[in-house]
Structure 1
Amino acid sequence: MYKSLLSSFLLFIATFSFAQTETDTLRMTAQDSSIIYSIELREIIFTPDNVYTTDEDKKAKLILKRRIFKVYPYAKITADKLTQLNATMAKLKTNREKKKYFKIVEKYLEEEFEPRLKKLSRKDGQILVKLIYRQTGSTTFDLIKEYKSSWKAFWANSTAYLFDINLKTQYKPYDVKEDYQIEGILNAAFNQGQLSRQEAKKAIDFDKLNEHWINKIKIQKSQPKE
């Protein structure tokens, strides 16, 4: 059931990538008849050292980086194609024409993208939902509601909750540590040319964000332990 759910809402996301060639992916190499993701371990210092204080933290960071590299292209394509989709819909005169066009796109995507999207894990889905918000300024729930229907958005979100995916999740790098880490990983990847840069829909000043977390961590460390 989870794979079907994830595929359903990700196929909606991929609607914006109709006839789009994906270029922002990790380098891939074949090994033991499977595809593995290769990432460069060379790092740019982009967050305070004490954000990653243990070997476990550093390992978690690398896992998070792989997830971001895997799903970021889908979020970027969503933002890139949102305007184009709206422009195409605006040219269609009737709701019937718009619905027919959308169905054609959906059918194509089911055949083209479903096998790949079904391979995403729950955590991949959680990260993707956050990145969708970063790139579009809207939650995945709101996008489904706008382009599909409120009823489908409600049931998609209700079912997603069972699998620990909240389609209403926003991206809050100033409040949520994981989101701050995501922004840092993205910033480093953009600077290294590993990912194609796309600014957040709601502007983020990374220097100010970094300073915010440095101060926040200092305050946390200065507080007496209970």
Structure 2
Amino acid sequence: MKKFFLLLIIISFNLNAQIKDSLPDFSDEYFLVKDGDTLMIKLDEVPVLPKHKFKSRKDVNYYYWFRKKVFKAYPYATLASKRIDSLHARLDRIESNRKKRKYVKRVQKYLEKELTGQIKKMTRTEGRVLIKLIHRQTGKTVFENIREFRSGWKAFWYNTTANVFKLSLKDEYQPELANEDYLIEDILQRAFIDEALELQEPKLEIDSYKILEQKKGAIDVEEYKKMFAKMKKKKKRKKKKK
């Protein structure tokens, strides 16, 4: 992955040497500051993201708890995107509809075998993040991806099943509107800069830096604090019943 940075290299040439180095043929990325003395290599700029603003130390803990969820879900979303891209490319080369259907089924079985087991081990939060990240990486919701390669009826039942676990395969990724999606985008962009995650360009059009700038680093994790508060209450009730 490209890392965005600006690097200045100063090279001193020995003017008294018998054989002088000739100046290279500079591309748009390079330019000479002072002939025969200082060389400036212009690379991509370093993106400076807003400094995080947390309300409390507890909020920091919740943010990093959610960060782990994003880190777990992101590789599966990028894998799904790669497989779907490969599927489209392959189908474009197949003329027979029968062979196309056969190939789609083969890819489906492969994806189910590769992803289903891992996804079943995910928590509800991780599953929700994955659904949103698939929309980010493929440009289509999970429901739309399923409907494209299977019947709309099966997509409906997939969505119904997900609703049992309070998840919707129709969920969209909207970091400019939804707080959770903003947190995901914030985590991803910082991870890309740190090279903690491998960058895969999203199919969804997102002005990431504009979105992060507008929030000015403010981190809202109240949703997760409430979620854990409810979980604690349920545990207490169960203990009392026992």
The residue aligned with 1:207 is 209
Q: 1:199 to 1:87 in 2, by over 3 A?
A: closer
* Residue correspondences, number: 173
Instruction: Find the residue that maps to 2:90 and give its secondary structure.
Output: helix
| Structure with the larger helix share | 1
- Greater CA drift, 104-113 or 204-213: 104-113
Matched residue type, 2:200: Q
| Aligned residue runs from structure 1 range 75-224, under 5 A | 75-214=77-216
- Structure possessing the higher radius of gyration over alpha carbons: 2
1:95-127 alpha-carbon deviations (Å, 9 max, x no partner): 221222223333344444443232112211100
2:135·2:204 contact (CA, 8 Å) conserved in 1? no
CA RMSD of aligned residues (A): 2.4
Assess if the C-alpha contact under 8 Å between 1:132 and 1:139 holds in 2: yes
Name structure 1 gaps, 5 residues minimum.
1-43, 218-226
Q: Summarize the Cα distance change of 1:49–1:190 in structure 2 as closer, same or farther, 3 Å threshold.
A: closer
> Equivalent residue of 2:205, what SS?
coil
How far apart in 2 are the matches of 1:166 and 1:137? 16
Which whole-Å CA distance do the structure 2 matches of 1:75 and 1:116 have between them? 12
Cα deviations by residue, 1:163-198 (Å, 9 ceiling, x for unpaired):
111111111111111111111110111011111112
Contact 1:174 1:213 (C-alpha < 8 Å) held by counterparts: no
Moved over 6 A (4+): none
Deviations 1:12-37 (A, max 9, x none): xxxxxxxxxxxxxxxxxxxxxxxxxx
TM-score (norm 1): 0.68
- Structure 2: which 5+ runs fail to align? 1-46, 220-242
Q: CA deviation at 1:209?
A: 1.1
Preserved CA contact (<8 Å) 2:50 2:213:
no
Rounded to whole Å, the distance in 2 between the matches of 1:187 and 1:111 is 30
- Secondary structure at 2:200's aligned position in 1? coil
Structure 1: distance between partners of 2:60 and 2:209: 22
More displaced, 102-111 or 60-69? 102-111
Conserved in 2, the CA contact under 8 Å of 1:174 and 1:212? Answer: no
- Given that 1:137 and 1:202 are in contact with CA atoms closer than 8 Å, whether structure 2 keeps it comes out as yes
Q: Secondary structure at the match of 1:158?
A: helix
What amino acid is the match of 1:121? T
Aligned position for 2:63:
61
